[in-house]
Structure 1
């Protein structure tokens, strides 16, 4: 009805001059509504009902700051405007406020939208306080857009003595203020994303690119753009590692709040903690741009990344650029390929997530532990920006985080994820099925390490030019053997064993790379240990990856591995040792004798 009302007023030439400018209000309404469409009215009402409508301050200022527009509005001779200008009420002294009003074009636009242009004279005479509004740096006429506070009840009742009229106008005015001043999200100086709660009347300056790009029990995901009028510089800076383009796209995840659901706030808590992780580990984790409660949902805003690791490896949706899918070239070492380097980065990020996050609560003692529970290629994004290509762990919807005593066994209650990449303990054992042992419901922090090992195998298959399609056909589900009537599953499937052997033999022409691959295969076997008690933890993974790289570089350069390690890391890991002499090739010569 509001869209119809405004459209009708815009077509009327009689009455207040403000009617001549209502169409400009409609043109500045976002997200835009196609007036020629068959469902334009219902679409407008839907967006208005969902709180999605807002105005472009830049567009309104561009029109309402023009001299011709100001002249037409401020010289209106309709009865309401004339009476307001010439009121002889003692509380409203007659004063020429036109010069002052010319510096407040956004205020004029607000009153045109409300159909109360003549109120501008009362608002000005009452000398209300004004609040600056955000706008682009090149705002028209160099005026900082401003809107006034709402007048007190005593003053407003001079104009609206009837209670119903007063309440209706107050309600509409409050709604309009939110449409004229949407929420401006920004990154705080601490770089830690805060959790905010917004009133249901507040608006968000989102331009929807695509609705429901994914949907499931976890909620909905929308691809959108933040209107440039309201894109804070800190948001643009934070997005530099995600986009090469001037147009920045975001992904908004919305989850309905379910009362009395203990895990409902888990994702919020996890993401809040993750936002505190420092570099370099944070480079390989998706950046949380905003986290807030609005209406009946929790909302998480992230950079939008089109391609994930699953696209890169299989490209089933044909959306991964060809250059990202390049395999290992002839004479290129595995350690020099960007994708393998990024997998090392993902390992560091996972280790930081598991047990290196800082406890933010001063009054709660203990250490923070966490598990992702759904680590898979589709949950590792491939971000391409001017700063380089990065892999980013994302989707912490299944994650669980806890603070435990420092001397307590670090384990967490099990949560479900993608079956293909889940370890053997994700399946209930026969003992658990028959006895219902609660111990079996808890898992260790090396749960995700199994998933990471599976992903690394797929990455190596891709980089070495082998067929992932053939591997998928042979695998048919999980990486470990399925149980039969007599035995619990124990060990890796044959197709997985075959690939591990293939990796060891992939560089027979190069003894240095062969040695490196043997170290990697040994690590993968440790990561895919069937018994979780003997499986590697993420801290061990990054340690072994670094040792293997250091050993490779030493062999390649024909240097001692210890020399390479010291050159990289200094002596911070060699506490208590002192350099006592020099190895001349045959013996150690003391520095004191030199």
Structure 2
């Protein structure tokens, strides 16, 4: 999901259109992000890549100082579409650019996909053992009011979605590192599910946050106490100098430099 968020960030912020005189950055929203539009490139074994495809519903506007652009008139699969696709045109009026809300259409869709991936990965089982967890989750989405959508009549995530996020966050694993990782991801997802598109994190913020969550996890997972402290010390530069050499001093619960001993 980290790589997928980076790909989405590239689509949103790094597409430049050749124009007379200078290149102009285009704001591009996919508007139909769903599992069927995410392909796996297996050209290099062990280095598979996810690729976002099918831009048939995409929204494109050119970046401008005043942020003006036409209203969004197209959207993709309703299952992964955000609540603003059924909102009145003036519901999200404010001082922010219209393009921010359009781009964050994809952030909601990405959150939906991430939840489905987590349901599959954590294999959360309900009472009905005849169906897989993902099948049960999809059935709950389909059978509840506003069928086949992740949001309810209040334009907030459905109860089954919220309960699933809580189940994932509380999934029993022994170590604290995994617990903190899950909690951070769930907090991010709840923000991505904000009913107001302008209050959702941008794709850039999602990518940055996922990178940070993984970095924090890597520092503490499967490490002994000293390794954790060394990782948290984070000396600057490519190597250690006399100010950054680490020492372990008994009775002090931290990694310190030799110059401080």
Tell me if TM exceeds 0.5: yes
Deviation at 1:377, TM superposition (A): 0.8
Quote the residue 2:192 is aligned against: 527
What is the distance in 2 between the residues matched to 1:453 and 1:393?
15
Distance verdict in 2 for CA 1:545–1:412, change over 3 Å: farther
1:352 Cα deviation after fit = 0.7
Report matched runs for 1:445-460 at 5 Å: 445-460=103-118
- Give structure 2 stretches of 5+ with no counterpart: 92-96, 125-132, 143-147
Q: Structure 1's 411 and 512: CA in aligned 2 closer, same or farther, altered over 3 A?
A: farther
Residues 16, 24 of structure 2: 8 Å contact kept = no
Structure 1 residues not aligned, in runs of 5+ = 1-342, 433-438, 483-488, 573-577
Q: Which residue of 2 aligns with 1:495?
A: 160
Q: Kindly tell me: are residues 384 and 494 of structure 1, through their superposed partners in 2, closer, same or farther at Cα, counting changes over 3 Å?
A: same
CA distance in 2, matches of 1:446, 1:506: 29
Aligned residues: 231
CA separation of 1:441 and 1:368: change in aligned 2, threshold 3 A: closer
Would the aligned equivalents of 2:67 and 2:99 in 1 still touch at CA under 8 Å? no
1: CA distance between counterparts of 2:117 and 2:181? 16
Question: Does the 8 Å CA contact 2:100/2:197 hold for their aligned counterparts?
Answer: no
Deviation readout 1:105-151 (Å, 9 max, x if unpaired): xxxxxxxxxxxxxxxxxxxxxxxxxxxxxxxxxxxxxxxxxxxxxxx
Contact in 2 for aligned 1:512/1:555 (Cα 8 Å): yes
Inter-partner Cα distance in structure 1 for 2:68 and 2:231:
35
Match of 2:215 among 550, 560, 569: 550
Please list, as runs of the form range in 1=range in 2, the aligned pairs for 1:309-328 lying within 5 A after superposition. Answer: none
Asked if 1:385 corresponds to 2:43, the answer is yes
SS at match of 2:101: strand
Tell me if the contact between 1:413 and 1:443 (Cα under 8 Å) persists in the aligned partners.
no
The Cα shift of 1:533 comes to 2.1
Distance, in Å, in 1 between the alignment partners of 2:157 and 2:201 is 16
Structure 1 Cα separation of the partners of residues 243 and 69 of structure 2: 44
Distance 2:60 2:123 in 1: 38
Give how far 1:563 is off.
Answer: 4.0
Decide whether aligned partners of structure 1 residues 400 and 429 sit closer, same or farther in structure 2, where only a CA change above 3 A counts.
closer
For 2:188 and 2:28, locate their aligned partners in 1 and report how far apart those are by CA, in whole Å.
22
In structure 2, what is the Cα distance between the partners aligned to 1:565 and 1:529? 35
Taking the aligned partners of 1:522 and 1:474, their CA distance within structure 2 comes to 22
Residue 533 of structure 1 aligns to a residue whose secondary structure is: helix
TM-fit CA distance, 1:397: 1.0
Question: 1:367 and 2:25 equivalent?
Answer: yes
1:224-239 to 2 correspondence within 5 Å?
Answer: none
Larger RCO (CA under 8 A, 6+ residues apart): 2
Give yes or no for the alignment of 1:427 onto 2:86.
Answer: yes
Q: Does structure 1 retain, via aligned residues, the 8 Å contact 2:41–2:51? A: yes
Give the direction of change, closer, same or farther, for the CA distance of 1:425–1:554 in structure 2 (3 Å limit). Answer: same
User: RMSD of the TM alignment (CA)?
Assistant: 3.4
The whole-number CA distance in structure 2 between the counterparts of 1:411 and 1:566 is 45
Structure number with larger C-alpha Rg: 1
Q: State the partner residue of 1:462.
A: 120
CA positional deviation for 1:501: 0.8
What residue number does 2:14 align with?
A: 356
Q: Structure 2: how far apart are the matches of 1:410 and 1:513?
A: 44
- For residue 401 of structure 1, report the CA deviation from its aligned partner: 2.4
Tell me what 1:173 maps to.
none
| Deviation by residue 1:276-320 (Cα, 9 ceiling, x = unmatched) | xxxxxxxxxxxxxxxxxxxxxxxxxxxxxxxxxxxxxxxxxxxxx
Does residue 176 of structure 2 align to residue 511 of structure 1?
yes
Give the TM-score, by structure 1 length: 0.35
Deviation of 1:360 (Å): 3.4
**Could you say if the C-alpha distance between residues 441 and 555 of structure 1 is closer, same or farther in structure 2, counting changes exceeding 3 Å?**
closer
| Alignment CA distance shift 1:441-1:581 (3 Å) | closer
State the SS of the aligned residue for 2:7.
Answer: helix
Q: Is the 8 A contact 1:410 1:445 kept in 2?
A: no
Q: Quote the offset at 1:430 in angstroms.
A: 7.6
Does residue 478 of the first structure (1) align with residue 149 of the second (2)? yes
Q: How has the CA–CA distance of structure 1 residues 396 and 561 changed in structure 2, closer, same or farther, with 3 Å as cutoff?
A: farther
CA contact (8 A) 1:373 1:399 kept: yes
User: Aligned pair in 2 of structure 1 residues 376, 475: CA closer, same or farther (>3 Å)?
Assistant: same
SS at match of 1:479: coil
Cα drift, residue 464 of structure 1: 1.5
Q: 1:411 to 1:548 in 2, by over 3 A?
A: farther
1:402–1:364 distance in 2 versus 1, CA, 3 Å: farther
Q: How many Å separate the matches in 2 of 1:355 and 1:565? A: 34
Report the Cα distance in structure 2 between the residues aligned to 1:571 and 1:442, rounded to whole angstroms.
37
TM-score, length of structure 2 as denominator length = 0.75
